Amino acid sequence: QVQLVESGGGLVQAGGSLRLSCVVSGRTFSRYIMGWFRQAPGKEREFVAAISWSGGNTHYADSVKGRFTISRDNAKNTVYLQMNSLKPEDTAVYYCATDPRSSWSIRTDEYEYDYWGQGTRVTVSS
């Protein structure tokens, strides 16, 4: 059974930083692309970032480029999202997800990811 567990969310002031973590079990973590998505209140879930199995390739949504960094530690079955210079519009529930394919390709559609965590809430106050 594949499980993803996010942590690290919370309340932060605008301009602050948070680091989200997602631990994956039940799958050979190092083989797969990982992604982060978010869903703000009243909005659809949107792509944030993705990383290849090796960590050598990454892709970001334009809205977070230069502020967020995705990384992974395959020895710990964990993917991270370092969020700096946070803005109120970054307020959302953040989800990690696994991509069932191992070959790198930029995939931003949530329907291309197969397993999801329960989400961790990030609130950025102005």
Residue-level pLDDT at 118? 97
pLDDT single digits (tens) 66-82: 999 999 999 999 999 99
Residue-level pLDDT at 43? 97
Residue-level pLDDT at 101? 85
The residues of the chain scoring below 50 in pLDDT are none
At 35, is the secondary structure helix, strand, or coil? strand
Alpha-carbon distances of 30 from 23, 63, 67, 73, 119, rounded to whole Å = 12, 27, 25, 9, 21
